[in-house]
Amino acid sequence: QRNDRSSERAPMSVISFSQPVQIPNQGTDVPALVQYANAIFMVYSDSDGSGTLWSSWSLDGVNWRGAIQIPGQTGFIPALAVWGNYLYMVYTDSNSAQLWVTRTHNCVDWIDTQQIPNQATSTPALVAFPGIGLCLVYSDSSSSQLWCSVCANPPASSGQADAEFRFASPAV
C-alpha cells in the first residue's frame, strides 16, 4: 500500500529565470552549452542548414562574444563535455548520420577530429565522468533505440600524446 504524504511535503521551491535576452547575430535550432575555463562555452550549427559549426562564449550567461566559425568541421547537434584541460565535442556529420569527435584546449584550435566508427545518430549526448571517461548516449539513426558507448581515458592534457579516440562498441 502506498503511503501518500503529499500534504506533509515542504513547500516547493520556486526556480525562476531572468527575462530572456536575445544573443545578437547568432541563431540555431539546438545549441550546446558547457562550463569550460571559467566561462560558459556554446557550440551550435548555423541556422541556414549548411552545418557550419560556430562557437561563442560568455562570462555571465547574458553577454556573448561574437561567434567564431569552427574551421574544417560541419555537422549538426553538437554535444559538449570537459575532460581534464580539453573541451570535447561529438556531433552528427552534416552529410550523414555518422558521429564525429574532436577536442580543443583553447576553444579556437580543434584537433584530432575523427569519425567514431559504426556509430550514427541525429542527437548525441555526451558527459565526462571520473573513473569512466567520456560517455556517449544516442538514439539509433533509424529508430528510437538508445545506445551507449564509452571512450575510456581520453587525453586530458596537452602533455599527453595525441591518440585516436576509441569509443567502445555501442551497447544497449
Q: What is the pLDDT of residues 114-133, one digit of tens each?
A: 999 988 887 899 999 988 89
What is the C-alpha to C-alpha distance for residues 94 and 61, in angstroms, rounded to an integer?
28
Q: What is the pLDDT of residues 55-95, one digit of tens each?
A: 999 999 999 998 999 998 899 999 999 999 999 999 998 88
For residue 127, what pLDDT is reported? Answer: 95
pLDDT over 70 at 167, yes or no: no
Contact between residue 78 and residue 122 where contact means Cβ atoms under 8 Å apart:
no
Cβ-based neighbours of 51, under 8 Å, separated by 6 or more: 45, 74, 75, 76, 94, 95
For residue 47, what pLDDT is reported? Answer: 85
For residue 79, what pLDDT is reported? Answer: 96
Give the burial class of 84: count Cβ atoms within 10 A of its Cβ; 0-12 exposed, 13-18 middle, 19 or more buried. middle
